[in-house]
Amino acid sequence: MGRRTAKTGIPARGSAALPAALRLLTLLVLLPLALTAVLLPPTAAAAAERLKMQRTHDGDARALPYDPDPPPAVAEPRPPWQSKNRIVYAFDRPARSRLAYSAELSTACRRGEFLQRVDMLYRAFGPGEQPLGVAYGAMAVNLIDPKRRRQVDMVYFFHRQDTGRCAVYEARLETLRPWFVGP
């Protein structure tokens, strides 16, 4: 054998035994690495190759049974709202001679606080007059009254609603019965 140091027994520098020891050490380190590379599962490229789908024929791609991207839901337009106007009072004299003007309610009407729900849904008129809109205090029929100014036994007549000159007249329900026009 080659020369060895006295204390450690490791081959001395420059001896012929050194390259053989390095070869053995290299073989012991590289052999497990080589075996793991061969025995390990395939790399990512090989795995992707295995997962690649086969080509399909033209008849294979059919339409889905539903639309995967449907158009946004849009409601159909509603028909215009219509109401059947109804004449509820027909007076034998001018209507304003039978009704009392209310300054407080007229001011509230101009502010939008005392209005008919539907203008001219119920109408009243006297001979040769323009019709007046009608609202009832009982159950607030055709009446918007957020401040609760209405009275149950009163009928309210609106002239020029939706203008700055809205005028509200009122009368007791019992006094208007003779001029009521039934359905």
Residue 49 pLDDT level (bands cut at 50, 70, 90)? confident
In this structure, the number of other CB atoms found within 10 A of the CB of residue 137 comes to 19
129 within some domain: yes
81 within some domain: no
Average pLDDT over residues 60-78: 77
Q: Which residue has the higher pLDDT, 65 or 11?
A: 65
Residue 162 pLDDT level (bands cut at 50, 70, 90)? confident
The verdict on 43 and 128 lying in the same domain is no
71 within some domain: no
28 within some domain: yes
The verdict on 113 and 165 lying in the same domain is yes
141 pLDDT above the threshold of 70: yes
Average pLDDT over residues 70-91: 82
Identity of the amino acid at 14: G
Domain hosting residue 29, numbered range: 17-48
77 within some domain: no
43 pLDDT above the threshold of 70: no
Q: 104-135, pLDDT tens digit by residue?
A: 999 999 999 999 988 888 999 899 899 999 99
157 pLDDT above the threshold of 80: yes
46 pLDDT above the threshold of 80: no
Burial of 149 (0-12, 13-18, 19+ CB in 10 A): middle
Instruction: Write down the pLDDT at residue 71.
Output: 81
